[in-house]
A and B are shown apart, each in its own frame.
Chain A
Amino acid sequence: MSAIHTTPAERLVMMANQIAKAFAAQGEERAVMKTAAHIKAFWDPRMRRKIDEHVMAGGAGLEPYALTALKQLMAGTEKPMPASEHRPTDQGSDAG
């Protein structure tokens, strides 16, 4: 495999897959919810636009949880994080 992600879309696919993987152990529902919340909180609009275009073009390379989360974000159907979860936008999150 090539280790260098030469195009911006490839880099974003790698990032989305890594985010989804970090949450994968929590099961599909929570992993998808948290992946969507993380991307929404920390991706600049032009990164979102670029990955949206990639999803519309078929979403090559995206793992299932990442793809589902991105499709939900595009449709505005992502699940809000309940207050019982540590949300990425909560004060004290240092993921920024």
Chain B
Amino acid sequence: MTAPTYRHVSDEATRAMFEALWGVPINPEPGLRIPNMLDAAVEGTFKALYIQGEDILQSDPNTHHVAAGLAAMECVVVQDLFLNETARYAHIFLPGSTFLEKDGTFTNAERRIQMVRKVMSPKNGYGDWEITQLMANAIGLNWNCTHPSQIMDEIAKLTPTFAGVSFKVLDEMGSVQWPMNEKNPLGSPIMHIESFSHGKGKFVLTEYVPTDERTGPRYPLLLTTGRILSQYNVGAQTRRTENSRWHEEDRLEIHPHDAENRGIRDGDWVQIKSRAGETALRALITDRVAPGVVYTTFHHPLTQANVITTDYSNWATNCPEYKVTAVEVRASNGPTNYQEEYDRFSKETRRIEPLIAAE
């Protein structure tokens, strides 16, 4: 949909740069965003997905819909450090490599490009970029990068704001902030001095677009989901470390008033239900949440927090609405059947057949 630095695919000059270097025509129509890909998969028009380092089955809203989308595809390739949740639906699983096993760059939120150097060779045999190249060559393309610095050189060639970036420059300067090009030979620690890149800023009226999700008699509470510091996002990496001592399970935080109304005690199993689905987890009674609001993290797959979240999203970006889901909470005696089945299937899909010696 966009080339690096948000150049829209309908822009002819941008397309021409890529077409010239890659030697293929590029479709000027926009592509699909993740939620729309899943819709299209269910409809049967979106058939294959190559996922690197992302665990959409756990992170994305409305898990049943995500699962239906993945199940409908003809080829799902997952490349990750671990057999993550999405790998349940993978036709092909490719082992990824960690940041310690490859050369490359990280770009942080202040536009700072930083070198990362490998301290050991990848245990799986290949850096992630090499796996992608091997796949490309297996389908008849002729890619022959021999080092990640050549990939950065290509980015610099195709991205005007990266024109001056290379591994050599990063080595010399330590790190740089893009835009880095002829106009900004040392990079740009501060952007938008005096004016924006397009000239003056323009103020426009926008209407507040509230969510359509509503509480009511059947779903009187609002669920918000979030994260804590000791677990990273879906926890694919951090759950497998000692960090889990700080956060062993996701709990449903509920105000004492709401808990008392429902006969819920601290630590009890509770069922939480929305219009999208239901799951169960243990309650944590706390006045950190306001009456009428319940909260949970989604770091642990068995919690199935995103079974409850809906397909509402932001109007401009389709960013999912994780913070407003109308729910009801009631006492329960343990995980739902779905959670038990999920757990059983998880264990089954993680069995590894022993190697049998060749005759």
Least CB separation from A34: chain B residue:
B204
- Encode A1-35 as 1/0 by CB contact (under 8 A) with B: 11111001001001100110111111000000000
- Encode B40-53 as 1/0 by CB contact (under 8 A) with A: 10110100000000
Provide the residues of chain A in CB contact with B214, threshold 8 Å: 1, 3
Asked whether B202 is an interface residue with its Cβ less than 8 Å from the other chain, the reply is yes
Asked whether B267 is an interface residue with its Cβ less than 8 Å from the other chain, the reply is no
Least CB separation from A87: chain B residue:
B8
Asked if B11 contacts A26 (CB within 8 A), the reply is no
Interface CB pairs A-B, < 8 A, 22? A3-B275, A3-B312, A3-B326, A11-B311, A14-B212, A21-B315, A22-B206, A22-B207, A24-B207, A26-B204, A41-B10, A42-B30, A44-B40, A85-B202, A90-B198, A91-B5, A91-B6, A91-B7, A93-B8, A94-B6, A95-B317, A96-B6
Question: CA A43 – CA B311 in complex, angstroms?
Answer: 17
In the complex, what's the smallest C-beta–C-beta distance from B186 to chain A, in angstroms?
Answer: 22
Count, chain A residues at interface, CB 8 A: 36
Question: CA A32 – CA B313 in complex, angstroms?
Answer: 21
In the complex, what's the smallest C-beta–C-beta distance from B35 to chain A, in angstroms?
Answer: 8
Total inter-chain residue pairs, C-beta < 8 Å: 97
Contacts of A39-64 to chain B: CB distance below 8 A: 41-47
Question: CA A48 – CA B277 in complex, angstroms?
Answer: 29
Asked if B39 contacts A8 (CB within 8 A), the reply is yes
Provide the residues of chain A in CB contact with B7, threshold 8 Å: 91
With A1-B214, A3-B213, A22-B206 known, 19 other A-B pairs at CB within 8 A are A1-B212, A2-B275, A3-B312, A4-B275, A11-B39, A11-B311, A14-B312, A21-B315, A22-B316, A26-B204, A38-B316, A41-B30, A42-B1, A42-B33, A90-B8, A92-B5, A92-B6, A93-B8, A96-B8
**Contact with A19, one of B29, B204, B315 (Cβ below 8 angstroms):** B315
Asked if A3 contacts B315 (CB within 8 A), the reply is no
Asked whether B150 is an interface residue with its Cβ less than 8 Å from the other chain, the reply is no
Asked if B205 contacts A25 (CB within 8 A), the reply is yes
Asked if A41 contacts B8 (CB within 8 A), the reply is yes
Asked whether A77 is an interface residue with its Cβ less than 8 Å from the other chain, the reply is no
Asked if B6 contacts A21 (CB within 8 A), the reply is no
In the complex, what's the smallest C-beta–C-beta distance from A73 to chain B, in angstroms?
Answer: 13
Asked if B315 contacts A22 (CB within 8 A), the reply is yes
In the complex, what's the smallest C-beta–C-beta distance from B62 to chain A, in angstroms?
Answer: 8
Asked if B40 contacts A26 (CB within 8 A), the reply is no
Question: CA A72 – CA B276 in complex, angstroms?
Answer: 35
- Whether A96 touches B207, Cβ cut-off 8 Å, given contacts A4-B275, A22-B316, is no
Provide the residues of chain B in CB contact with A89, threshold 8 Å: 8, 10-11
- Whether A45 touches B311, Cβ cut-off 8 Å, given contacts A2-B275, A26-B205, is no
In the complex, what's the smallest C-beta–C-beta distance from A26 to chain B, in angstroms?
Answer: 6
Provide the residues of chain B in CB contact with A23, threshold 8 Å: 206-207
Asked if B6 contacts A18 (CB within 8 A), the reply is no
Question: CA A64 – CA B173 in complex, angstroms?
Answer: 55
Provide the residues of chain A in CB contact with B317, threshold 8 Å: 94-96
In the complex, what's the smallest C-beta–C-beta distance from A71 to chain B, in angstroms?
Answer: 20
Q: Residue among B206, B311, B316 with the most chain A CB within 10 A?
A: B316
Provide the residues of chain B in CB contact with A21, threshold 8 Å: 207, 209, 315
Q: Residue among B10, B209, B318 with the most chain A CB within 10 A?
A: B209
Least CB separation from B42: chain A residue:
A8
Contacts of B42-94 to chain A: CB distance below 8 A: 42-43, 45
Question: CA A95 – CA B316 in complex, angstroms?
Answer: 6
Asked if A8 contacts B43 (CB within 8 A), the reply is yes
